Amino acid sequence: MEIERRVAESAIEVRFADAGAQTGTTIRGYAARFNSPSQPIGGRFVERIASGAFDDVLGDDVRALINHDPSLILGRSIAGTLRLSVDGQGLAYEVDLPDVGYARDLATSIARGDISQSSFGFSLELDGEEWSRGEGGMKVRTITKVKRLYDVSPVTYPAYTEATVGLRSLERFEANESQASAAAIAAETERRARWLQLARI
């Protein structure tokens, strides 16, 4: 099972702790936005995430990481330092940052606007996607059911270039589409041959 990563075009908010406060700095954002098309992935398809795609994974043991790097952990759902929820917009997250240098640096970078996107690592159910054609014939992959949610991450760069699993899935879709087209052509050829045979009688 391979992990896929996607980015959400959405601002990340920082709440800095007051001096002497009992709680630390918190960040929050959306790791995924529902029904919002991605930029073309690999120049070959766009992707949408259907509402309901995360319904079965909110209880997973999920980490909050910087740039999907497991050595830069920000929080963890089972520790209560990462909270996940789904609303009408998408998969929301809130993280209580640890009091470590890289987390303070991240909070500063978010506050300055240097880091403004989020991403998530996931794997799909076998039937967790649907393929179709959108405007201009562009292929559209709709993620309908996530099997496992691994992490949510504020990211410097979007992870679309790492969409190798999605591209393999696209190749299966294209092969099936080609087979269906070939079958339709064969059926039409046979229908015409029968018509010509009947016309000769």
Q: Once rounded to an integer, what is the mean pLDDT over residues 130-146?
A: 90
pLDDT tens-place string over residues 109-127: 888 888 888 888 999 888 9
Considering the domain boundaries, does residue 197 fall inside one?
A: no
Q: What does the block give as tokens for 18?
A: 């007051």
94 inside domain: yes
Total domains in the chain come to 1
CA angle 9, 12, 14 (to 5 degrees): 175
Of 141 and 166, the structure prediction assigns the larger pLDDT to 141
- For residue 150, is it within any domain? yes
In a domain, 120, yes or no: yes
Q: Residue 86 belongs to what domain range?
A: 4-162
Average pLDDT, integer, range 94-114: 90
* Residue 189 counted as domain residue: no
Integer CA distances (angstroms), 95 to 3, 13, 33, 68, in order? 22, 11, 18, 15
Global pTM reads: 0.71
Calpha distance 6→30 (Å, rounded)? 12
Residue 180 lies in a domain: no
User: 190 in a domain, yes or no?
Assistant: no
When pLDDT is averaged across residues 98-109 and rounded to a whole number, the result is 91
At 49-96, the pLDDT tens digits run 999 999 999 999 999 999 999 999 999 999 999 999 999 988 989 999
**Rounded CA separation 152/154 (Å):** 7
User: Could you tell me if residue 50 is inside a domain?
Assistant: yes
Whole-number pLDDT of residue 32: 86
Q: 167 vs 134, which has greater pLDDT?
A: 134
CB 157 within 8 A of CB 66: no
**Stretch 174-194: mean pLDDT, rounded?**
66
The mean per-residue pLDDT over the stretch 163-176 comes to: 50
* For residue 159, pLDDT beyond 60: no
DSSP conformation letters of 46-87: EEEE-TTTTTTTTTS--EEEETTEEEEEEEEGGGTSEEEEE-
- What confidence tens digit (pLDDT) does each residue in 4-23 have? 655 555 556 666 555 444 45
